[in-house]
Amino acid sequence: MNTILIAGASRGIGRATAEKLRKKGSSLVLSSRTQRSLEEAYSGSDVSDLAFIPCDFALPENIEPFADQVQKQVGGISGLVYCAGAQKTAPLSQCKPADIRQLFELNTFSAFELVRCFSKKSRISENGASFVLISSLAAHEGAIGKTIYAATKGALEGFLPAAAAELAPRGIRLNIVVPGVIQTDMSMEFINKMTAEQRANLEQGYPLGLGSPEDAAHLIAFLLSEESRWITGQTFVLDGGHSIKG
């Protein structure tokens, strides 16, 4: 049975991906900052097939012991999804070094460290593994106030080609999903602060409408599956037609 680790599994894309993979029969290791957040996210459903292993991904130094715990509890994994992250909207002039470092540690450095720790042979299944990171269309657009957030995601995409080349001989595939605006708690917090005109302009920029977490989950599940066995080192833009709109 496939064992998939989802970091940031308590809400949004991570939560939708977990539900998608459960229906496909995967064994899941779900992680979020606290045990309580995981229990609340999956309350009311049978969790006997789920392993909850909390980790605060805002601190990259937590990840090596977290990887040890995952290995001890479930053995080698066959898939990994990094959905943890935060978004900061602020003018560049107000982004102080400590704020920048904090956002990079959660969005970028912990993703790097998770890939590094789980690229060890003893921590993946005998048949190899597929890793998926989540970037953002913000890394490809000029959006005022998104400078540092865009930089944290752009760094993930810069990491991809060399890392994928290094991991391929080990039987590990690495790909990135680049969503446009997905209606998650994080994005809706920002959208709900818009004026009616700003929100209308945003929605008009997406010919197929704003995305749902399930839209991303379908693609992630494919990239984790054997059906994508010949795909690595690629970025997949998922944006409801936003990029092609004139």
Residues, the chain, total? 246
- In the sheet that holds 50-52, the strands lie side by side as 50-52, 27-31, 3-7, 79-82, 129-134, 172-179, 235-238
Given the residues 42, 82, 149, 206, the one annotated as active site: 149
- Beta-carbon contacts of residue 74 (< 8 Å; ≥ 6 apart): 3, 27, 29, 51
Does residue 149 carry a catalytic annotation? Answer: yes
* Rounded CA separation 117/113 (Å): 6
User: What does DSSP assign to residue 142?
Assistant: -
Q: Taking the CB of residue 148, how many other CB atoms lie within 10 A of it?
A: 21
- Beta-carbon contacts of residue 137 (< 8 Å; ≥ 6 apart): 178, 179, 180, 181, 237, 239, 242, 243
* Rounded CA separation 151/159 (Å): 12
Residue 84 phi/psi, 5-degree rounding, is -65, 150
Residues involved in catalysis: 149
